[in-house]
Amino acid sequence: MLSSEIYDIIIIGGGVIGCNIARALSKYNLKICLLEKNADIAMGTTKANSGVIHAGYSAERQYIKRNLCIRGNKLYTQAAKELNFPFKRIGSFVVAFEVEEIKLLEELRKKGIEDGVLDLELILDKQKILKMEPHLSEDVIGVLHAPSAGIVSPYEMTFALAENAAINGVKFFRNQEVIKIDHSEYTFKITTPRNEFKCSNLINCAGLYSAKISKMLGLDYFDITPRKGEYILFDRNSIQLNKILFPTQTKLSKGILVCPTFHGNAFVGPNAQNINDLEDTSTTTAGLKEILEGARKLVPNLPLRASIQNFAGLRAVSNTYDFIIDNTEIYGFINVAGILSPGLTSSFAIAEKVIDILELLGVELKLKDNYNPYRPKPERFTDFSKKQLEKKIKEDSSWGRIICRCEKISEREILNAIQAPVGATTLDGVKFRCRAGMGRCQAGFCRPRVMEILSNELNIPYQAITKKGEDTNILIAKTKDLLLTQLLEKGNLK
């Protein structure tokens, strides 16, 4: 079906980059939509990364990602206030165990300060270091402390960006994989298996698939290689870390880190392995062994028995090893590709850069009168006092029904996740929005109840409920119906 509407701007890809750009543009009087191939936004690289908001001292100076990271870090304070996503500046340590490494840290500090990461400090007092992070190995001889580094929940932040963009008028279309793009005069025609869309400006934020999208328009000037990073996540009550801990860095990545999530789980990873498959997020025994060995150098007493989940994310590495943010030779087509780490940190600065390009292209950027930059904080059962809870339950009894016991998530929170703008339609959508199923039992208890709520809210049968979209259905049929069909097929029932 061809939509008759011509959008001013279409964004391809609903990761943190696409959603950040969508939100940044939603303050202007423009007709905008975002197309995402998955059943939900934030389910690509944005879902599986370290969630670290880097201070910005680590990338080499020749890369644009260095300055975008430094600027991006600074933009988080205001953004977190407006959008109420989980973010904390807890500070990072780059840890040295050898004298040689101290020299490297001093160099990082000096260059970082010159480039605007002002609060960097080299700490060589072991007692002070161990007081700041008691779990760190006693072999430490010095650290580079970056107090401005922080942790964020990357998917919750992306949902916040999308919700705010949506209330400001951006349309989100999920399950819309772009498979063809035609360009004539000043219009792009974008084909997905379900629809056709038209626009005057097209922004490619398709992550691992961004080279493929660029090639649809004949622009074949970069490649993307997936680089896998594996992780191990620990139960919340097992080890409480104060700082983000990096080893002194390697060429391929920032090395295997040990870090807390915003919600208090510790995790270790990632390693770095170039692969061919854009969808291969499997973990391997060898990979997990590698990250454990690396992590133990930083924190020897990792609580292995408390590991609750392994997962992997794929970095979209371009052949320039830098971000590609290009006003391309096709008028109105912008590539935002190769956004590897620190892409999450840089995302607000990347959105600013895209706005500059649109301005250069002559797109009229007129501020909306009714733009609302705020997105309310999602209410949480665990944030309420006993008295507040009693009041809440009196007003709405669904606050009193705990569905996920591990994380203490009430039915109301699950309903809110589904009813939000760009709300959840899958089990993962619920899980990543409100944490139902994130705990120690990994949804063993709450999955059937969440399915029941999804079924009621979306008015769809249980069999239509999926983990994360097409071909990930949980149930095939009712057991009795299935048996009956089998018996009828075998001719045992007439």
Ligand X SMILES: Cc1cc2nc3c(=O)[nH]c(=O)nc-3n(C[C@H](O)[C@H](O)[C@H](O)COP(=O)(O)OP(=O)(O)OC[C@H]3O[C@@H](n4cnc5c(N)ncnc54)[C@H](O)[C@@H]3O)c2cc1C
Q: Which is nearer to ligand X, 281 or 410 (CB)?
A: 281
Closer CB to ligand X, 161 or 415, in the complex:
161
Placement of tokens 């219009």 in the chain: 187
Element (H, E) at 162: helix 154-167
CB of 210 to ligand X, least distance (A): 7
Q: Compute the least distance from the CB of residue 373 to ligand X, in Å.
A: 21
Query: Which CB, 316 or 454, lies closer to ligand X?
Result: 316
Q: Select which of 54, 135, 145, 183 is catalytic.
A: 54
C-alpha distances (whole Å) from 401 to each of 282, 383, 397, 415, 428 are 35, 16, 7, 12, 20
Closest approach, Cβ 481 to ligand X, in A, equals 34
Edge to edge, the sheet with strand 150-152 lists 52-53, 150-152, 87-88
Which is nearer to ligand X, 220 or 489 (by Cβ)? 220
Nearest alpha-carbon partner for 154 in 278, 50, 65: 50
Of 46 and 416, nearer to ligand X (C-beta) is 46
Which tokens sit at 15?
A: 């990761």
For residue 412, the one-letter residue type is R
Look-up: residue for tokens 């994130």?
438
For ligand X, the closer of residues 49 and 310 by Cβ is 49
CB of 34 to ligand X, least distance (A): 9
Tokens 């949980």 — which residue? 474
Q: Smaller CB distance to ligand X: residue 15 or 439?
A: 15
Q: How far is the CB of 343 from ligand X (least distance, A)?
A: 2
Task: State the CB neighbour count (10 A cutoff) for residue 404.
Answer: 27
**CB closer to ligand X, 168 vs 273:** 273
Residue closest to ligand X when measured from CB atoms? 343
DSSP letter at 239 equals: -
Q: How many C-alpha atoms does 478 have within 13 Å on its Cβ side?
A: 4
Partners of residue 324 on adjacent β-strands: 337
Element containing residue 479 per DSSP (H, E)? helix 479-490
Q: Enter the tokens of residue 225.
A: 């290689």
Least distance in Å: CB of 176 to ligand X? 6
Binding site for ligand X (CB under 6 A): 12-18, 35-38, 43-46, 49-52, 54, 177-178, 205-209, 213, 229, 270, 313-315, 339-345
Buried b (16+ CB within 10 A) or exposed e, 296-315: bbbbeebeeebbbebbbbbb
**Helices and strands, counts by H and E, the chain:** 13, 22
Report in angstroms how near the CB of residue 384 gets to ligand X at its nearest.
Answer: 31
CA–CA distances in Å: residue 171 to residues 23, 332, 367: 11, 20, 18
Closer Cβ to ligand X, 340 or 418, answer by number: 340
Cβ atoms 51, 262 nearer than 8 A: yes
In the complex, what is the shortest distance from the CB of residue 47 to ligand X, in angstroms, rounded to a whole number? Answer: 7
Question: Smallest distance from the beta carbon of 466 to ligand X, in angstroms?
Answer: 15
User: How far is residue 20's CA from residue 433's CA, in Å, rounded to a whole number?
Assistant: 17
Give the bridge partners for 283, in sequence order: none
CB of 363 to ligand X, least distance (A): 21
- C-alpha pair distances (Å), 21 with each of 18, 161, 275, 329: 5, 9, 29, 21
**How distant, in Å, are the alpha carbons of 5, 202, 206, 327, 374 from that of 330?**
22, 10, 18, 8, 35
3-class DSSP state of 93: strand
Q: What is the largest CA-CA distance in the chain?
A: 84
How far apart CA 215 and CA 223 sit, in angstroms, is 10
Q: Which residues pair with 335 in a beta bridge?
A: 204, 326
CA atoms within 13 A on the CB side of 230: 22
Instruction: Choose between 203 and 403: whose C-beta lies nearer to ligand X.
Output: 203
Catalytic annotation present for 54: yes
Q: Which residues are catalytic?
A: 54
